[in-house]
Amino acid sequence: MFQANSDYLKLPGSYLFSTIAKKTNAYMAEHPDASLIRMGIGDVTQPLPPAVIEALHKAVDEMGRAETFRGYAPDLGYEFLRHAIAENDYRARGCEIADDEVFVSDGAKSDSGNIQEIFEKDNVIAVCDPVYPVYVDSNVMAGRTGEYDDKTTRWSNVVYMPCTEKNGFCPAFPDRTPDIIYICSPNNPTGTALNRQQLQIWVDYANANKAVIIFDSAYEAYICEDDIPHSIFECEGARTCAIEIKSFSKNAAFTGLRLGATIIPKDLKDGNGHDLYSLWARRHGTKYNGAPYIVQRAGEACYTEDGKQQIKEMVGRYMKNASFIKTSLKDMGYEVYGGVNSPYIWLKAPHDMTSWEFFDYLLDKAHVVGTPGSGFGPSGEHFFRLTSFGTYENSQEAMRRIKEL
């Protein structure tokens, strides 16, 4: 069991989105009549696709009959879902991924927080900055920290790669060679995405330095430009340097169902020659009893013709919101990024406000909740993230309120 120590205690007092929730709840307690528009947490609002609902009902009926009842799921996932994922998300795109290289889980966040367990404790990790907080927090909790610098409030084994407007939010190689590289594309929080050539450069770098890329593809369904890869395995050589984590939450509204998968090729080894496929299979089997049967059947339904079409329409509605929000903010004079291959809009806070100052300003003056960029890392300071997961009507109203500030 993890033992709390000084490294762990140097983490922020609470998780970023827990802090946002507490501040928002406190504001509502003082202003119960305020009509808030929530554009902070990346939670979807549209209901599950009809094909998914139908599959859930059918699976529940099966569970209610003795002859078709299911107990513990296979810890690595049912074959029907592993096959659907490998066939549709990978082999259909020319990626050589076998069914048994797919590990089904209860969500990409869980896998992001657990995958670091199969690596050496003294490994150096490199993360984009700004970055999804789970990457850093979970490694610190595991003790993968090195020395702590009070001046920079950073650990020596965590290398930040600044992603700013100056470099087009595309990270440069770190000064110190890492063992593990975290890449999220399309990116959370900036909403930007690496093109094929940019991602290939990172694959070549990882292979040359015997590093492993952990690639978060949670937002691949939002990609609309041809030159943006949906999977890192579209890059040559990725099988020998990459792990991919995928999600059903943002594309198919599974935030309340919980389903994800991690893809680990059998020929992947770390810098010390350890077989990561076998290590993850052992870890997964030891600590996990499998995603529920009914949820895995729901996941399978996402790959039917009806399911694919319904998901495409759902994503299209969110991207309509994103386009409207981005255009509106630009017309107001804001410096804005993202919103093209991603449901996230990344904007510069006006008048040199800090991220949290702008959070308080929007909450109090416009009753709009967003996410302070500094919560994602040092390079996120003075930036702010808005999501497009609400309704089109709420997106319009939020932009109207911000315009009137």
Encoding tokens for residue 267?
Answer: 């020929």
pLDDT for the residue 9: 45
pLDDT for the residue 220: 97
Check: CB of residue 39 under 8 Å from CB of residue 368: yes
Alpha carbon of 74 to those of 215, 243, 248: distances in Å? 25, 21, 19
Q: Respond yes or no on whether the N-terminal peptide bond of residue 229 is cis (omega within 30° of 0).
A: no
Structure-token match 């507490």, residue found? 22
Please give the Cα distance from 360 to 312 (Å, whole number): 35
* Secondary structure letter of residue 150 according to DSSP: T
DSSP string, 71-111: -SPPTT--HHHHHHHIIIIIGGGT----GGGEEEES-HHHH
pLDDT tens for the chain, residues 1 to 405: 334 445 544 555 567 888 898 999 999 999 999 999 999 988 899 999 999 999 999 999 999 999 999 999 998 999 999 999 999 999 999 999 999 999 999 999 999 999 999 999 999 999 999 989 899 989 988 888 888 777 776 788 999 999 999 999 999 999 999 999 999 999 999 999 999 999 999 999 999 999 999 999 999 999 999 999 999 999 999 999 999 999 999 999 999 999 999 999 999 999 999 999 999 999 998 998 899 999 999 999 999 999 999 999 999 999 999 999 999 999 999 999 999 999 999 999 999 999 999 999 999 999 999 999 999 999 999 999 999 999 999 999 999 999 999
Structure-token match 């992947």, residue found? 268
Check: CB of residue 211 under 8 Å from CB of residue 217: no
Please give the Cα distance from 107 to 42 (Å, whole number): 14
pLDDT for the residue 3: 42
H-only helix segments in 255-377: 276-287, 293-301, 305-331, 355-365
pLDDT for the residue 12: 54
